[in-house]
Amino acid sequence: MTNLEQWYFSIPVITRTFLTLSTITSFAVTFDLLNPLQLYLNFQNVFFQYQFWRLATNFLFFDRFSINFILHLYFLYFYCRRLEEHSFHRKTGDFFYLILFGCVMMLCISPLLQLPFMSHALVIMLLYIWSRRNPHEQFRIYGIFTVGAGYLAWVLLGVGLLMGMSPVVDLVGIAVGHIYFYLKDVIPGEFDGVDPLKTPLLISKLFPGDHDLQAHPPVYRDPQDFFDVDQNEEEERMREHQADLREENNQPVEEIKEDDVNIADQDVNISESLHKRNRADESTNVE
């Protein structure tokens, strides 16, 4: 197996499938094997001409082969892979459900905004979720300046505005990403583990290799909470340490006291025996 093959198959399955389908679609359009008019989202064609593939292909086409396509593919590879490898490690079904949730939400929003392609919005959604779960990471924009991950989606939106692009698609991705983040990460922490986006059993069965080692979903917490928890844990460790010291100090004392009692009892018994023997000797001498 070549290095390229090793790299390709090292990519997690959902990210690898998404990248492959997007690349094939873009190259097919570039070489005129497909027409973008056959791919964009049109609900009239979907429901009246039964062109159901449009529900999926509008999420797979970024652009013809170009710098714009390469940038989108890079963002897709980077953030989709990071999410799948870290937040969704061994939870492929949950990650597939995230993608499905995002696509369904965007399909519901699309008729209101007349968006023909929503592949960019889907990438922004994944980027936003990753940034909320990794707010302290740093990212370098086009090799020029560095921003915190928590602001990355908004910075890219601003860069798009400076380049004359519409912010609508970015805002859709941010909105859907925030809805998922709130339902999946915030709600369980506020309502004792209630998970409104629990992956359906049917989807989980599609990925039998999953091992759900993390029974509880990731919960959003204020950064100050981590310091409070650390302080409480430190106090608890100190109390346990002090209890151990008291137990260690008391144990030898108790053993010594018990030994002393045994020795004292033995001394008393010996004294009594000697006293009885002396009395017996005296009686013998008198006789």
DSSP 91-145: -HHHHHHHHHHHHHHHHHHHHHHT-S--HHHHHHHHHHHHHHHSTT-EEEETTTE
146's enclosing H/E stretch is strand 145-148
Inter-CA distances, 125 with 116, 176, 186, 244, Å: 17, 6, 17, 51
Phi then psi for residue 175, to 5 deg, are -65, -45
Tokens for 19?
């990248």
Domain endpoint, select from 220, 237, 257: 220
Do residues 140 and 264 both lie within one domain? no
Do residues 172 and 211 both lie within one domain? yes
How many other β-carbons are positioned within 10 Å of the β-carbon of residue 14?
20
User: Which residue in 77, 113, 82, 78 sits closest to 95, CA to CA?
Assistant: 82
Do residues 121 and 157 both lie within one domain? yes
Do residues 96 and 229 both lie within one domain? no
Do residues 75 and 138 both lie within one domain? yes
CA dihedral 31, 173, 165, 52 (to 10 degrees): 40
pTM over 0.85, yes/no = no
Query: Which of residues 189 and 171 earns the better pLDDT score?
Result: 171
Domain endpoint, select from 220, 248, 274: 220
pLDDT digits (tens, 9 = 90+) for 182-200: 999 999 888 887 889 988 9
Segment 252-275 mean pLDDT? 50
Do residues 24 and 148 both lie within one domain? yes
Do residues 43 and 86 both lie within one domain? yes
Do residues 184 and 274 both lie within one domain? no
Alpha-carbon span 93 to 19, nearest angstrom: 18
| Residue-level pLDDT at 152 | 85
Count how many domains the chain has. 2
Confidence bin at 249 (pLDDT 50/70/90): low
Do residues 116 and 254 both lie within one domain? no
Do residues 17 and 101 both lie within one domain? yes
Do residues 213 and 232 both lie within one domain? no
Tell me the CATH number at 58. 1.20.1540.10
Which domain range does residue 241 map to? 223-287
